[in-house]
Amino acid sequence: MTTLPPGLELRPLPLPASIDAPDAHDFREMARMRNLVYAEIAGHDDHAMPADELLALYRPIAAQLRLLWIAVLDGEVVGRVGLDLPQEAGARTGFWLIELRRSAWGRGIGRAAHELIERTAREHGRTILQSWAEHPAAEGPRLEAPTGFGSIPLDRAARFYLDAGYTLEQIVRQSRLDLPDSETHLRTLLAEAENAATGYRVIQWTLPTPPEFVDAFAYMKSRMITDAPAAGLDYDEEIWDAARVTDWERRYTEADRHVLVTVAQHIDSGELAAFNELSIGKDRTAVTQQEDTLVVASHRGHRLGMLVKCAGLVAWREAIPESPRVLTWNAEENRPMLSINEAIGFAPMSYEGAWQKVLG
């Protein structure tokens, strides 16, 4: 068992039935702490999310077991701890986070939380742990990604991972597109992509997915884990079917998030060849998240990435004109997708390290 620092409790966090339920206090505190920590790291509030939306996104799904704890120091909530465990047969991986207020640094909380994560992962038969952390720009020594693409500062977070036995496997770039005054440029790029993507057409929907596309969309979602650049990260293959798509959709709809899916369909075969997702919370003046984007490997080389991204953003401006910007994340070695983003006007904001440990 882990010996906790004096005054520290790592308290399991069950999900309440609603955000106003009598037992929802700890979850609301967790959400508040999450938003404060993200603002401390990033210097802005674009990652903030209301507690009720977060609760809906955290609802259990069959494909994943999510374990949560709050870090309580001397009676005050100072952070949160999470471990996600995929539920496919034979799954080896666990994905974790430890997020603490700066005022709680240096008290041994992170080490105690990581011991809890590693012990729990082993109890569930996991042999691979992965975690992502934003590494703000800083002077001094840097760590190069083994892919040869990108680097991060050797900061406090990086030293924590290295001391715990992790290796840096990949750099992920977070980029931002300011939406005002972008429409003319987007329409020009869209027209060029349409001319290049002969034999394909654009189809769009908001959730739920039309029944006739559920199976094909599930297949594309399953390819995100295998077809996107993964560097040295060792992933379990994901199994997506209609039931998993329904689970995925339910978390968004219950959170009152607006999600637009844009796909490219190969006309002759009817196959779905590429897709892009945009989402926003119930505050339509907040930031937009560009989530998964993928071109199926057998359909690459037809500018379908540019097609679905631009078609999605043009439609988004018409549907959600109040949102001021879009955030997206891409592996730094994913030059084809980064080139599309840069041509659209996305600018780098920050960089995350993707870290992995193989348990002995």
Which residues constitute the domain of residue 87?
8-126
Does 3 fall in a domain?
Answer: no
pLDDT > 70? residue 95: yes
Q: Are residues 103 and 216 in the same domain?
A: no
Does 217 fall in a domain?
Answer: yes
Mean pLDDT on 158-178: 98
Which tokens sit at 218?
């599930």
Mean pLDDT on 154-167: 98
pLDDT in tens, 15-52: 999 999 999 999 999 999 999 999 999 999 999 999 99
pLDDT in tens, 258-286: 999 999 999 999 999 999 999 999 999 99
Whole-prediction pTM: 0.95
pLDDT on residue 226: 84
Counting DSSP H helices and E strands in the chain, the numbers are 9, 14
Contact status, residue 37 vs residue 105, Cβ threshold 8 Å: no
Q: Are residues 120 and 197 in the same domain?
A: no
pLDDT on residue 114: 98
DSSP string of 75-138?
TEEEEEEEEEEE-STT--EEEEEEEE-GGGTTSSHHHHHHHHHHHHHHHTT--EEEEEEE----
pLDDT in tens, 180-236: 989 999 999 999 999 999 999 999 999 999 999 999 999 999 999 888 888 899 999
pLDDT on residue 2: 66
pLDDT > 70? residue 162: yes
pLDDT > 70? residue 1: no
Which tokens sit at 33?
């702490």
Strands 128-134 and 93-100 turn out to be: parallel
Residue 344 sits at φ, ψ, to 5 deg, of -70, -35
Taking phi over 0 as left and psi of -120 to 50 as alpha, with beta for the rest, 145 belongs to: beta
pLDDT on residue 229: 82
- pLDDT category, 145, cuts 50, 70, 90? very high
Mean pLDDT on 312-322: 97
pLDDT in tens, 52-83: 999 999 999 999 999 999 999 999 999 999 99
Does 156 fall in a domain?
Answer: no
Mean pLDDT, the chain, integer: 96
Q: Are residues 344 and 205 in the same domain?
A: yes
Does 102 fall in a domain?
Answer: yes
We report the CATH number of the domain holding residue 61 as: 3.40.630.30
pLDDT on residue 10: 98
Does 56 fall in a domain?
Answer: yes
Q: Are residues 231 and 305 in the same domain?
A: yes
Q: Are residues 221 and 114 in the same domain?
A: no
Q: C-alpha distances in angstroms, 284 versus 25, 311, 313, 314, 329?
A: 26, 19, 15, 16, 21
